Structure formats: structure tokens, C-alpha cells
Copies of this chain bind each other. A is one copy, B any other.
Amino acid sequence: MSVKIKDVAREANVSVATVSRVLNNIPLVNEETKKRVLDAIEKTGYKPNAIARSLKMQKTNTLGIMIPDISQAFYTNVVRGVEDVCNIYDYNIILCNTDSDAQKELKYFNVFIEKQCDGILFIGKSLKDELINQIAISKIPVVLGALTDSEDRIPSVSIDNEQASYDLTMHLIENGHKRIAFFDDEDETSFVGIERKKGYKRALESQGIAYRKEYVFDGKYSIKGGFDLMEELLKLEDLPTAVFALNDEMALGAIRKLEEKGLKVPQDMSVAGFNNFTVSEWLTPSITTIAQPMYDIGALCARMLIKMLDGHKDEVKSLYVPHKLIERESTSDIK
């Protein structure tokens, strides 16, 4: 059906070896022969079969990328960064959504191995042991994005989540808040969540403020999640004066619930988020948050992985990218 290298060879009256050399820009080919081959390619409309090439070369120029859920704003920017860099270096990405589910992660990992991906980008909230084992066994190059490996067995590109969380909590404390609630991820195994909680605790401790378990709420990473959590929180006797939510979507939900109950943000309660969601600066009130350079995280991850594939495995080391506290209207000094 489709035209193959053999057809081009016949058309140009050369061997397939010569056609291959022209295709791969190997210099030893006579200019005239080359021209004949090029004409034959043009004439036949030949397109190389990358699968055949990959089999021979043991290289697919394809990277596997796992993310929890592409429909979450945070990850889309990371993926865009990855793809742009891949485009530069002629790689393509196979994209999979894991929902942070261990089974799906292992399944997709196997798919990446079977489809001979040159490397894997793992974006997510935590790396499970079983997956680490599989990675070690297969020896496939992997880079983590937006999270780190606690033992740094696998290189990563991420913000320092503990420090970022500390910074945000300190900011609230400096504004006079002592009763600060924490809207956590319902997924307790989330490494990123754990790190952020550490930062929150460290900030409290550093200022001699007791950590109160009743101020920590686990919920969904969504607007509705924050909305529901605030409903819970408002049942407390001793209300917090500020809330630190693990993403801006949760923070927005929390704010809307407060408004629904006739409370004002930040006058009655300050609410801070995380990630600097695209719309956060446009909301009323706009949301105080920690910005992560999402696009850069993706781009750097991809560069790092490609560097490993180019044989510079030892030059690669884990990287913290800077986060930034953005103060907006949803938080203020305590009255």
C-alpha cells in the first residue's frame, strides 16, 4: 500500500542503502546520486517508517509522561512546557492520566516500557515504592516533575514545597494570625501534601504556636472540595482567623462558602491558596497564593530527561525552582 524505501530505490536506480544514506544525511553520497534519490522521494511521496527505524535503532524519540489528571489546570501548564521542549529536540510524548492511582501508574509504566519510550516523565504528588522498584529494574531514565523523591534516587524538578508552605504560613502569622486552618489533600500518601504540611507546622512552631489537629481538614483538590471543607470548618467552636488551602481552587471554594454564610474575606477570615491558578488574580477577592513556575517545571524536566538520553546522566541533578509568594486581596492583617 504505502511506499517503502525499496520503491524509492527502484525509482532512483540505487540500492536501499543509498536511499537510507540520503535520508539520514550521511555525507558520503555523490551529489548527483543524492539528487536522483531526492527526486524519487518527491515523486513517490515516500515517508519513512519511524517504527521500523526505531526497531533497528533501539530509539523511538518518544517520551512517556504520566500526570494525575490533565483536566487540572496546574498540570496542563507543566505538560505544555514539556511538549514545547520535546518539539525542539524532536521527541514526542505519550500522555497518560493516572489519577494518582497506583494500579494505573504501574499499568502505564509497563506500556511505556513495551512501547520502548526512551524515557519517562513522572509528574504527580508522590512516587510509590512499587513504581520505584520497577524503574530500578528496567533502568529506564526517569525524571520527576513538581515533586521530589525523598531519597533522591530519581532526579527531579520541583519547587521546595516545604519551604513554600513555610513562607506562606509565616506570611499569615506575620499578619497577626495565630489560628490558621490547613486544607489538606485527601490523599494522605501525597508526598507534596506531606511536605507542605511540614512547612506549615514548622512555621507555627517557630513562632511558638501550637499545632491544632482540629484545624486540619482533608478534602478534594477542587472548588467544590474547598466549599465543602469550609462548611465543616464553620462548625468549630473556636474559629480560625485564616485558612491555608493547598490549591487556589480549594481557596476559591472556601471563599464562596464564607460569602454564602454572610462572612467577608479577608475581613472575617483570610484565605490563601497555592499554585497561582490562572484566574486567581482576576477573582473578587483575588487570591493570595504561592506561584510555581509550572511551564518551566515541565520544560526543565524535559530538558533534563533529554540530557540523560544524550548520555549525560551524571551531569543531571535534582533541581529546586523558585516559588513566589503573591499577596492579594484574600488575606489581610487580623483586625
Q: Which residues of A contact B (CB under 8 A)?
A: 45, 47-52, 54-55, 60, 62, 69-73, 76-77, 79-80, 83-84, 87, 92-97, 110-111, 113-116, 137, 223, 252-253, 256, 259, 278-279, 282-284, 295
Contacts and interface: CB of A to CB of B under 8 A. Distances in A.
Contacts of A278: 223
B55 A83 contact: no
A94 B79 CA distance: 12
Within the oligomer, what is the number of copies of this chain? 2
Contacts of A259: 284
A282 B252 contact: yes
B70 A92 contact: no
Given A70-B70, A71-B76, A76-B71, A96 B83 contact: yes
A60 to B, nearest CB: 7
Contacts of A92: 94, 96, 111, 115
A70 B76 contact: yes
Nearest to A280: B279
A51 B60 contact: yes
Contacts of A94: 62, 92-95
A110 B49 CA distance: 11
Contact of A95 (B83, B253, B256, B295): B83
Contacts of A47: 110, 113-114
Nearest to A222: B278
Nearest to A95: B95
Contact of A116 (B50, B79, B83, B114): B50
